[in-house]
Amino acid sequence: MTIHSAVHVRPATPDDRPTIERLWLLFRHDMSEFGGQLPNPDGTFRKEWLEAAFAGGGGWVPYLFSRGEQPVGFAFVRAVGGPVRVLNSFFVVRGARRAGVGLWAVREVVRRHPGDWEVAFQDGNPGAVRFWRRVAEELAPGCWTEERRAVPDRPDLAPDVWLSFRYPSP
């Protein structure tokens, strides 16, 4: 079985929200390593992007990735109707990483919304650095850019790295 037939990428529905909320906790836990965020007193993490993705407006589309019956990740795309789509959040569970799941999933998400794209990640996350540069090169060979931007309202954090590309590439 190839990764293409094993992983299913689809827009998430309100019925998927509890699953994505649990995956969100894993995502935020992973990300806390790079920004030092701690959980809220109830054990949750900030979730304004999760709320926005499921609010049903504002150009957000949540996606769920699964392998068989098992959820293996998610993505939130914002500004779908705007001039530049933003891959706002992207997560693959550790047990499915380095097997092609992430690359397959991001290709599927981006393919559904052709045009200009941006994605941010942290320099301090070497896995993300390698992954997103590989994604950009595969989706827009030689036609992508990278820049560092300050994190709004967080002068204590290192700037985010932003990749920009067009899909399909020119």
pLDDT for 73-121, tens place per residue? Answer: 999 999 999 999 999 999 999 988 888 999 999 999 999 999 999 999 9
Rounded-to-integer distance, Cα 14 and Cα 10, Å: 13
pLDDT above 70 for 64: yes
Look up tokens 């079985």; give the residue: 1
How many DSSP H helices and E strands does the chain contain? 5, 7
Mean pLDDT of 7-32: 90
The pLDDT of residue 1 is 46
Mean pLDDT value across the chain? 90
Q: Is residue 127 pLDDT above 50, yes or no?
A: yes
Note down the domain range covering 84.
3-167
The total number of structural domains that make up the chain: 1
Q: Are 51 and 43 in contact (CB under 8 A)?
A: no
Check residue 5 and give its pLDDT: 56
The pLDDT value recorded for residue 62 is 97
* Residue 58 zone, left/alpha/beta (φ > 0; ψ -120 to 50; rest): left
- Yes or no: say if 163 and 146 are a contact pair by the CB < 8 Å rule: yes
Q: Using a pLDDT cut of 70, give the percent of the chain over it.
A: 94
Tokens representing 104 are 């397959």
- Per DSSP (E only), the strands in 31-108 are 61-67, 70-78, 84-92
CATH value at residue 147 = 3.40.630.30
List the one residue out of 119, 102, 126, 128 whose CA is nearest residue 164: 119
| pLDDT band of 157, cuts 50, 70, 90 | confident
Residue 122 pLDDT greater than 50, yes or no: yes
Helical H segments across the chain, by residue range: 3-6, 17-35, 48-54, 101-111, 126-139
Q: Which residue did the predictor score with more confidence, 33 or 65?
A: 65
